[in-house]
Amino acid sequence: QVQLVESGGGLVQAGGSLRLSCAVSGHAFSRYATGWFRQAPRKEREFVAGISWSATLTYYSDSVKGRFTISRDNTKNTVYLQMNSLKPEDTAVYYCAVEWGLCSLSLAMYAYWGQGTQVTVSS
């Protein structure tokens, strides 16, 4: 069974930075793509960034492009989301998720999800 654990969330002021981590285990040596999603209260969960196994494919939502960077270290089975120039509208619970395809921007394609980590950006 695949397990994902997010960490690195917290409270920061606008303009600050955070680095989220997603540790993946139990994948039985399978290659996988990973996405970061976020969900604010009373909002739909939305795609933030995605990365293929080889990291040759990366995708970002328009709202975070230029500010966030997704990366991975497969030797550590860990995916990262570096978040810079944070804005109050970035406040949400951030989730990482795994899919067995190349790299999907669709939430429905992801089979495994972490529990999420809270990111709060104050003004």
Question: What CA–CA distance (Å, rounded) separates 30 from 53?
Answer: 10
Show the tokens assigned to 9.
């969330």
pLDDT of residue 29: 60
Query: Running along the chain, 123 residues long, what does each successive block of 10 average in pLDDT?
Result: 94 98 82 95 96 94 98 94 98 95 86 96 96
Tell me the DSSP string of 13-72. ETT--EEEEEEEE--TT---EEEEEEE-TTS--EEEEEE-TTSS-EEE-TTTTTTEEEEE
